[in-house]
Structure 1
Amino acid sequence: MKTVALRLGFAMLAFCLFSANAVAQFTHTNDMEARPVHEYNTITMIGSPYVHKEWAKGSLTLKNGTVYQGIELMYDQVREAIIFKGKNGDVKELLEPVQEFKITYIENNKPVERTFRSGYSGDGVPANAFMEVLADGQVVLLKRTSKKIFDRKHYSSATIDREVQASEDYYIAKGDKAVKVKKSKSSILAAIPDRKDYLETYIKSNALNLREDRDMVKLVAYYNSL
């Protein structure tokens, strides 16, 4: 009887600890360190500084392990800043160090979820840069999109055209080390050479065009399945 009571007591203690930990992990956005957001005049802007130009539902995982879910996010790819709506609807720029965030939105009547992760190094990757995870596993396919805003004034005119231009870089990562790759068979296979024969056969039999993101994803996913 005492044994049963002890087991029940330990089970209750474990449940309480688990519940306390879960509560600690999911906290209010009001607790996050933030500052007033930098605003753009997007009315006269060609292109968007954001990964998605409208608010999207998302989640954040801070580097200390704290998780925030179900919040409204935007990601500014010019300033590499995460923008969020607080509990009261106020718009702020997040200052907390973030390990990963996800955003979900509707595009062409289909749900899209995109994951961005920091903590990679190598081949000129800026410290704490967010990379989009295209394929995950033992080997990770990453895409980094950086944007710049250019203002152009026409000759003999007071009109200024403001345009957002984007550049994209791709990486293959093992652990936290990332190697930049070109969108070509030779470059990608050089980054993951240990399954070269299998990958070349897969590329040929599936007629992959490695200048396309979706086919790069297929190749890395296949590598991770071997």
Structure 2
Amino acid sequence: MKPVTMRFVLLLLTCGLFSVDAFAQYTQTNDMEGRPVHEYSTINMQGSPYLYPDFAQGTILLKNGTIYQGINMMYDQVKDVIVFKGKDGKVKELMEPVQEFKINFIQNNQATEKTFRRGFSGDRLSPEAYLEVLADGNTVLLKRTTKKIFDRKNYSSATINREVQEAEDYYVATGNKVVKVKKTKSSLLAAMPDKADYLESYIKSNSLILRNDSDMAKLVAYYNTL
């Protein structure tokens, strides 16, 4: 066999082995460990207990490194759990230990991807809580959204009105340790004090409004470049 042909065959074999190895790290099955879900009664409900009110495509990374792709899922922000559709079409709550997940949906006519991660602690935050990653890197900006359902019954009425109320908290993390921050310049600079002068100049020159998630994320992303 000619040397050029031999090199071509070896290249094909190498690519084939790489593809098999890469595929072995992933699974597209939704035959995951779950338990039946008691679904919410949404009659007369204002707001949604979910991040997005319909099933959407997502990717789930387990703590053991297994990755599930193309999962029809929802993120329940009341119970702080992932809900998915099993092979039988039944809705289940995921029971496997999750490290991170991504979910894709349409919001305001735009394709949106959100990433949520576990494993952070500090400021009375549980390592099992899911936090949205707003800016990633050596320093991470995180958002924690919690929801609660309140039932109200008006006087002399048999109708129960349900209302979903949500609260948001923000954290700056280095490694897996977090510091809770407010959506103010002073709070954010206090969480990143070693570069406060640079950050203050960046805020001013870019007219950042730090009550906006996107501008907070820009500031932390800039900090990671310093």
TM over 0.5: yes
Task: Give the secondary-structure state (helix, strand or coil) at the position aligned to 1:225.
Answer: coil
Alignment map for 1:108-127 (pairs within 5 Å): 108-127=108-127
Shift, 1:206, TM fit: 1.6
- List runs of 5+ in structure 2 lacking aligned partners: 2-6
Question: Match of 2:142?
Answer: 142
Alignment map for 1:177-192 (pairs within 5 Å): 177-192=177-192
Alignment map for 1:1-226 (pairs within 5 Å): 18-226=18-226
Shift, 1:136, TM fit: 0.7
Q: Percent identity?
A: 66
Structure 2: distance between partners of 1:30 and 1:112: 22
CA distance 1:35–1:29, change in 2 (3 Å):
farther
Shift, 1:20, TM fit: 4.8
Structure 2: distance between partners of 1:29 and 1:101: 15
Q: Note if contact 1:55-1:72 (Cα within 8 Å) is conserved in structure 2.
A: yes
Task: Give the secondary-structure state (helix, strand or coil) at the position aligned to 2:27.
Answer: coil
Structure 2: distance between partners of 1:81 and 1:61: 14
Structure 2: distance between partners of 1:75 and 1:106: 15
Structure 2: distance between partners of 1:176 and 1:73: 26
Shift, 1:89, TM fit: 2.7
Structure 2: distance between partners of 1:128 and 1:135: 20
Shift, 1:87, TM fit: 3.2
Structure 1: distance between partners of 2:125 and 2:34: 25
CA distance 1:87–1:28, change in 2 (3 Å):
farther
Structure 1: distance between partners of 2:12 and 2:215: 50
Shift, 1:12, TM fit: 8.7
**Cα deviation digits, residues 164-192 of structure 1 (max 9, x gap):** 00000000001111110011111111111
Structure 2: distance between partners of 1:57 and 1:99: 17
Shift, 1:91, TM fit: 1.8
- List runs of 5+ in structure 1 lacking aligned partners: 2-6
| Aligned residues between the structures | 225
Letter in 1 for 2:172: I
Shift, 1:53, TM fit: 0.5
Structure 1 stretch 90-99 or stretch 152-161: which is displaced more?
Answer: 152-161
Structure 2: distance between partners of 1:10 and 1:122: 52
Structure 2: distance between partners of 1:181 and 1:21: 42
